[in-house]
Structure 1
């Protein structure tokens, strides 16, 4: 297919155009075939672009008079989306001028604008926010939903599993990802009725979809590397994600305090530097940046607001892989397969 073309909301995030365009430059250095539509206040964006060394013809600039504020309510953002850098980036995907949109701005506003502009795919009731989490295994973990839907029924969870599996096959290169539902225990009798019903549907679906369903998992097992996709409602998923991020910061702060408590500790720090560097790399959120709204008729990637240029480049890499691997088609094919088997089973009854 043609080279991925990504619309960049240059005004989102804590650092604004500097981090977003710096990340774009890093991504272009790694992959010169990428193309970008940069959207933002031209007076602020153009000087940043002129400071960068970019391949000729790789970037187009589109002026946006407004930007969505980080504190803005989704309902307010929707009313003025057309003139904002975020809304224009999503509309570029809708109009076919870009294959994917990337923003580090207000998550609620991004979801609201994307859902209204792009609509959900056939067979998807609600889009979900998916992201990669670090593990002790050979690769990261896909987890969804991380906050888009606070309440979910069994069908929503099954749809999340189908989308998460397609995402893991695309981004992680797995043939049949191991899928589990987040629960308060691993026993089949535990959990809500929604979880039990979803588990029953997924056990059957694993027989014909490219996934393995391995039942339930608990929160303390997320980082062990024994599962590829973890599915949950957005309320529980967001709490689990923030808890994991807080624990990572706690561990690093505790180590920093321990290694500066005495001269002997400082000497130990010098000896432990290689191991601590590996820990820092593994826990650095910039290495796992790029949450994705799955289930829309178009690709939208959410970068962390505090992401550095390195983090933005990683988010662009996620977007490019999804475009090249046609993840929307994969999700659609899996959903068609699921619906066909469900209809056949119902007819047989």
Structure 2
């Protein structure tokens, strides 16, 4: 278990720290005595760490992802989703992927400036860019730092398409910019909905907006003419897999144009973090849930093979695929939608060319 305290850490997904695989040294608690009380108590206050990277666009070569490039204005995420695959990336910064991932947030205040420089390069060719991809671009830190909003202003300035994935209602703050982007078919939004069961949602994703709140996001963006997809992700057999029909139905009713799903995979340190959380919260069905997840990944908790890692295979995964397919058809999804327009992109270089 990650946390030796009997008290559950409310408001956090991970229930303690886990050793960073790159660290040779680690803390070890040998005796639970009075002298160890300060060692046991977790400092769960959020810290912000400023990072000044040389580039802001991450190039992706994954064969099973729909986006080629992504921008992550924040690394680490206060949402605390217990299943988040991005937790492992925090180890490269010297932090642990459990509590550190949720409380040590790396911010990139010069992100918009770097994006403007990238767009103005003579040889830049516009292509799909996803805001998020690793961690949520509208996580709580965005309310204070407004880095995502500054990035949207750059996308609008250059008439460059952008896709966004989030589970935070803070995106509605930027509906003015999103509406302007939509006029030229320059934006698409995906909202992640994992469960309509608030008790489960609160445990899975402790610092996120409610499912009701997310459906409100779908409706308000859709009413503004902004195309919205709903990500039923991740599907965790034995926890939320039975909710697929209801989530898709609710998405369609509120104006979503399409829906997608992924099956949970417990890669790297996520395996221990998730299992610790699962046995603490659902001891009666933890073993069965683990076995059903393994059944989706050839008997393992993570299958890293392209085209299988996100959707799984086997009888358990096929049952999920069929349920999703039937639910989509019943709800009338997908609906017709307009593709993003990459022909309108304008930078300083091609502006000068138009003068001649």
The reply to whether TM is greater than 0.5 is no
TM-score, structure 2 normalization: 0.26
Select the structure with the greater relative contact order (CA < 8 A; seq sep ≥ 6): 1
Q: Whose helix fraction is larger, Structure 1's or Structure 2's?
A: 1
- The TM-score normalised by the length of structure 1 is 0.26
